[in-house]
Amino acid sequence: MAAALNERFGTVAKKTSYSSREELSNALGEARQLFPEIWSLLDSARGELANRGIDVAAYDRLRALDATRDAGVVSVDVVESAGAMLGGGVLKSAQLNHEGHAAATEACSVLRGALPQIDWEALDRAEAEEIAAMGTLGPALWKKIVFGVIAIVVAAVLIAALMFMRMSAGR
């Protein structure tokens, strides 16, 4: 499960720009939830392996890295900008924990390597299907469609109003 969640975190961390504040907020919330859960699951697996007498020193070295203790979202910067949007606004940027993601990827490999007799690929497929069934924190498709339709209607009304004002001014 940790590997599947870490893969999802990597997908969230790869995206570099968002079309709305809500989309960015959802991505940051998802990263904040995923990262500690990934390491919690990895720590549990490490504990089970250690209890069975399996060497976990390589995992412990990875876990000692600062990046594994940081949050999924390293920083969020908010800057007021006169040109950010029509008439001013706020620009928001965030830095996600790519180093922690890489360490989690390595930790998954280290822990899997401790149990070579397990078919990890089959487990990965099953867990990916389970996570996909849960969905993500992103906006629902119907919401995107409604906002798109509203934007088109507003644009059409503005164009009609502009044409009406030009025709009225020409009289």
pLDDT of residue 47: 94
List pLDDT tens digits, range 102-117: 999 999 999 999 988 9
10 Å Cβ neighbour count for 101?
23
Question: What does pTM read for this prediction?
Answer: 0.65
Element (H, E) at 154: helix 141-169
pLDDT of residue 162: 79
132 pLDDT higher than 80: no
Q: Please list the residues that pair with 73 across neighbouring strands.
A: 96
List pLDDT tens digits, range 53-96: 999 999 999 999 988 887 777 666 555 555 544 555 566 677 78
pLDDT of residue 136: 58
